[in-house]
Structure 1
Amino acid sequence: MAVQLFKKTAFSSVYQKYMIPVSNEIMNLVLSYVKDKTNGQPLEMAVDVGCGAGRYTLPLAPHFKKVLGIDLSESQINLAKQNTLANNVSYMVAPAEKLPLEDASVDLVTAAVAAHWFTVDKFAHEAVRVLKSKGCFAAHAFYPATELEYKDLSHDLNVVMSEVWDTFFQYDVNRKILGHPFCQYKTIYEAIPLQDKEWITDIPIKYEMSIPEIIGFIQSMVMFQIFLEKDMKGAEQFLIQIDRRFREILGEEADSARLTAHFKHYCVLACKH
């Protein structure tokens, strides 16, 4: 299973280093939703499920008395512990489908770029089980496509980027990895057994990225890691060729250029009454 890749220390490090940064817009959306639903009451506990190295766990720390990050990967949890200084944040190895928490004990259950790896129905019911009355659920990720913008070179850059995604799709034949992201988490929205819920799609988020950062992002994608496992030489050569083509398009500006990478994020929000 592709999810097993996250248990490998080498991939955990690559993912932590090169995955696109935390979206402040998405964090603000989630936190505003929680504060609105709880009428600004003090927030005791947040749980970040599939927390990885804690990228989306730490921003929760100033808003909750306690924050718990949960992930199935021990290597990811170890990275999270190394990167965390906040006294109110802790981590635990556990599955999303069996949360080690009491009923009605949590103010927020969140899953950031992670819910598509879970058995969705089981996770959805577990999330609702542990939520307090007026507790909130939030799951968000980004659409598996990226558009690059840079002066008058955007078209040529996007031809290359489209080929990257087309190559990746060959390693996800039955949409087992990208099925939920392709539908912008509609399946997850439908799986949440709550009446008060929202499904927000096509949220535009921009990141300024250099060529090395874009190449790193490509490496951080699970489909590239599957490619690497199946054909190491081919995957490495593919990465070299993509880097070369980007540099040929940008010419003398290749080392200094900051490209605008456009992503579409989406978010499922729900509240337990």
Structure 2
Amino acid sequence: MAVQLFKKMAFSSAYQKYMVPVSSEIMNMVLSYVKEKTDGRPLEIAVDVGCGTGRYTVPLAPHFKKVLGVDISESQINVAKQHIIANNVSYMVAPAEKLPVKNASLDLVNSALAAHWFKADEFAGEAIRVLKTRGCLAAHGFYPSFKIEYKDLSHDLTAVMSEVLDTLYSYNDKCMEHMFSQYYNIFEAIPLKDKKWVTDIPVKNLMSFPELLGFFQSVYMYQAFMEKDAEKANQYFLHIEKRFRKILGEEVDYVQLNLCLKYYCVLACKH
């Protein structure tokens, strides 16, 4: 059910527009790890697996000769192709467990906000197949629990956010368990000795109130809610919007809120 949502163009467009921005903290961590493990050799090819609309694919472009984004959703890939801004980036429809690349050909296999949808053992084995010696694997995402910071209203705003998540969790998929465990299943599935698991990485995202509302719409659980009962989902969305507006008052259309998340990252190197 949830995977099918990613194949719908309306969801793909909302995801591209409203999902939280790319984490520079995570990207810097991944790139520093790769440069350390590859001993400064020129980086040739990276593949972004489960690339979605290419939000984490594009930032890799300045660091590699070629970057390929792959995803099983044709609609996500179509949106990604509309936002190509580098001539060394390309996209293909393909599953994470069967990558369309040669053995030992990649410097990096990256997966952002996606590995919880994969078959962990098959994905790990496929990553090892396609990585060069000293090539790296990075899989990262964020914990599905958020805080909102704004003046002295942080407690009340976070309480509403928690209520939203409690409601949406009833529309979750089993993959949510992997997000709560901070990808420990991915870490365990990687049959390499040189690996590490970094958790609870704090990241703050400054966003306007409309952007916060858009973020709700970009979450697959809200889209699953819409699929089941669109009228009820829309009514709930309006209810939540009113709750936030009541707390923020006249400032609502001008505020810049901090949406605080905790990221995690699994890193591994093939020897």
In 1, distance between residues paired with 2:175 and 2:40? 37
Q: How does 1:251-262 map to 2 (within 5 A)?
A: 251-262=249-260
Q: How many angstroms does 1:119 deviate by? A: 1.1
In 2, distance between residues paired with 1:165 and 1:240? 15
After the TM superposition, list the runs of 4 or more consecutive aligned residues in structure 1 that deviate by more than 2 angstroms: none
1:40 aligns with 2:29: no
In 1, distance between residues paired with 2:17 and 2:257? 18
In 2, distance between residues paired with 1:15 and 1:45? 26
AA partner of residue 224 (structure 1): Y
AA partner of residue 256 (structure 2): R
CA deviations 1:109-135 (Å, max 9, x no partner) are: 000000011111111110111000000
Q: How many angstroms does 1:251 deviate by? A: 0.6
Q: How many angstroms does 1:210 deviate by? A: 1.4
1:267 paired residue number:
265
What TM-score do the two structures reach when normalised by structure 1?
0.98
1:213 aligns with 2:211: yes
AA partner of residue 71 (structure 2): D
2:145 paired residue number:
145
2:60 paired residue number:
60
User: Does structure 2 retain, via aligned residues, the 8 Å contact 1:150–1:259?
Assistant: yes
Q: How many angstroms does 1:85 deviate by? A: 2.4
What TM-score do the two structures reach when normalised by structure 2?
0.99
CA deviations 1:34-76 (Å, max 9, x no partner) are: 0000011101100000011110001111110110000101111
CA deviations 1:214-252 (Å, max 9, x no partner) are: 111111111101111111111001111111110100111
- Structure 2 unaligned spans of 5+: none
In 2, distance between residues paired with 1:96 and 1:151? 43
2:176 paired residue number:
178
In 2, distance between residues paired with 1:112 and 1:261? 19
RMSD over aligned CA atoms reads: 0.8
Aligned residues: 271
AA partner of residue 139 (structure 2): A
2:95 paired residue number:
95
Aligned identity (percent) is: 68
Corresponding residue SS for 1:170: helix
Q: How many angstroms does 1:102 deviate by? A: 1.0
CA deviations 1:146-169 (Å, max 9, x no partner) are: 100111111111110010110011
In 2, distance between residues paired with 1:211 and 1:22? 19
